[in-house]
Structure 1
Amino acid sequence: MSTTRPLVRCPRRAPDEGVISSWDLSIGVDGPGTRFVIFTAGCPLRCLYCQNPETWRMRDGRRITADAVMNEIDRYRRFISVTRGGITISGGEPLLQPRFTAEVLRRCHDTGLHTALDTSGLLGANATDAMLADTDLVLLDIKSFDPAVYRHLTGGPLQPTLRFARRLADLGTPVWIRFVVVPGLTDAPDDVDGLARFVSTLANVERVDILPFHRMAMGKYQRLGLRFPLADVAPPCEVLLNRIHAQFRAHGVVTA
């Protein structure tokens, strides 16, 4: 199992310069409406079901200025606005590059675009209150509520994510929790119930996205010469997904 290095230092860059893997347009899964999604490069975790292994290492990305990112966003601004969408900074882990992430969020927020931050929460301490004030929505991935399972899945600790979730609640920042159902790993009833109970105490959580595990990234792993750790795990069945939805709803949590 890979060890994590949450305190990785980024290469020296200008304050408005970052390292990204790519960008794309998406609908529905990265925030409301059509989203311009920026995938930053670099991540301290190694999640067993990661769908973006090409974003793991910062050295594999490309340097770009906030000006260049805004110029690209402007090409799609009208389309994004019509669909009541916005921009989402994802990764990798965008909080590994907090200055760049904050700058892009600020510029987008100042021009009226809806902003979302997709994060594991491990580096939540890197997000300043000013950054979060420019963030209209946080997509917070909580892989498991069991610390041992979480470490097995990600190589990192659970507690920083829970602390960040509490901080977001204190600030009143809207949050969508994202929970991936991996049969045999994240579907234990007690684990799900613990997460549902925790989420029910956070008044800022608008919904929990119950996401079924899939193996669609296997081709990426093969092209990168990597082994997909969960190649032999089948996606969850409807019965299992329905049970997990019911567990969250039993605690008064809205699911999608």
Structure 2
Amino acid sequence: MVKGRVHSIESMGLVDGPGIRVVVFLQGCALRCKFCHNPDTWTSNGGEEYTPEDLVKKIERFKTYFASSGGGVTFSGGDPLRQPEFLLEALKLCKSKGINTCLDTSGYGFGDYDEILKYTDLVLFDVKHFTKDGYKNITGMEIYESLRFLEAMKKNNTKMWIRHVVVPGLTDGEEHLKKLKAYIDTVPNVEKVELLPYHVLGVNKYEVLEINYPLDGVKAMDKEITKKYQEELFK
């Protein structure tokens, strides 16, 4: 029997896809993004073990809240694609019960992406960077796996919301964001682009885990400036 490891479950998410959503944070991530605020999700053996059936039963409890809002479930992480067999079974069960499904992912996982995307209504795709060097600098990894997932989404005609974290001194320049827009304009089925201002809310987790914080001393991104970029470039 397939089992998966779940870091946590949020029952009333309002920012992870359309409507009210149950957000399931799965354990495991290969990337080490400089601005990550969930280092406690990196390891694949943390959290609590679930079967897909038990997890979907739990999700179903909140159906009265999310169904009427056009919501559903969002599988996040970590990166949900690091547990592809478990994710696939959970997605299939959700679809059989009429639950709208969404993945929040950077596309850096394992498995048969085509099969997973068959049961996915929307992907919140985290574009860490659009160049090889920029991606490696931010994540510590190569861009190719993320591009493989992007190709699968193109092939499967998957609806996308693109997300990009705006970090002072790293991804906050107007020139960078204009190039990002040019890159996104080549991607089909993008319904929305969300610029997310970098914040420092996860810094204390690094202290607890005794890990050095890569952006130590970098202040949170100005929300108004981020909003201005959002309105000017990504209406």
For the criterion TM > 0.5, the same-fold answer is yes
**Is the Cα contact below 8 Å between 2:22 and 2:59 reproduced in 1?**
yes
Q: Does 1:20 align with 2:20?
A: no
Letter in 2 for 1:97: Q
- Residue 46 of structure 1 deviates from its aligned partner by 0.9
Please give the residue correspondences for 1:94-243 in structure 2 after superposition, counting only pairs within 5 Å. Answer: 94-123=80-109, 126-238=111-223, 240-242=225-227
- Residue 157 of structure 1 deviates from its aligned partner by 1.5
- Residue 218 of structure 1 deviates from its aligned partner by 1.6
State the Cα deviation string for residues 56-98 of structure 1 (Å, max 9, x = none): 1012222211111012112211111122210011111111110
- What SS does structure 1 have at the residue aligned with 2:120? coil
Shifted more, 182-191 versus 158-167: the winner is 158-167
Length-normalised TM-score, structure 2: 0.92
Length-normalised TM-score, structure 1: 0.85
Q: Distance in 2 between matches of 1:41 and 1:35?
A: 19
State the Cα deviation string for residues 120-145 of structure 1 (Å, max 9, x = none): 1123x624322211100011101112
Shifted more, 151-160 versus 161-170: the winner is 161-170
Q: Distance in 1 between matches of 2:21 and 2:129?
A: 27
State the Cα deviation string for residues 5-34 of structure 1 (Å, max 9, x = none): xxxxxxxxx33x111111112433211111
Change (3 A) 1:155 1:220: same
Q: Distance in 1 between matches of 2:73 and 2:54?
A: 15
RMSD over aligned Cα, in angstroms?
A: 1.9
Percent of matched pairs sharing the same residue: 37
Structure 2 unpaired stretches of 5+: none
- What SS does structure 2 have at the residue aligned with 1:60? coil
Q: Distance in 1 between matches of 2:71 and 2:227?
A: 29
Please give the residue correspondences for 1:81-100 in structure 2 after superposition, counting only pairs within 5 Å. Answer: 81-100=67-86
Partner of 1:48: 34
- Residue 239 of structure 1 deviates from its aligned partner by 6.0
State the Cα deviation string for residues 185-238 of structure 1 (Å, max 9, x = none): 112344322221121122201011110000011222222223322231112225
Partner of 1:6: none
Partner of 1:8: none
Q: Distance in 2 between matches of 1:144 and 1:244?
A: 17
Letter in 1 for 2:163: R
Shifted more, 139-148 versus 99-108: the winner is 139-148
- What SS does structure 2 have at the residue aligned with 1:19? strand
Letter in 2 for 1:65: T
Q: Distance in 2 between matches of 1:150 and 1:44?
A: 13
**Is the Cα contact below 8 Å between 1:47 and 1:154 reproduced in 2?**
yes
Letter in 1 for 2:209: L
**Is the Cα contact below 8 Å between 2:27 and 2:47 reproduced in 1?**
yes
Please give the residue correspondences for 1:38-77 in structure 2 after superposition, counting only pairs within 5 Å. Answer: 38-77=24-63
Q: Distance in 1 between matches of 2:223 and 2:49?
A: 42
Change (3 A) 1:242 1:74: closer
Q: Distance in 2 between matches of 1:65 and 1:76?
A: 18
Q: Does 1:30 align with 2:16?
A: yes
- What SS does structure 2 have at the residue aligned with 1:232? coil
Structure 1 unpaired stretches of 5+: 1-13
**Is the Cα contact below 8 Å between 1:143 and 1:186 reproduced in 2?**
no
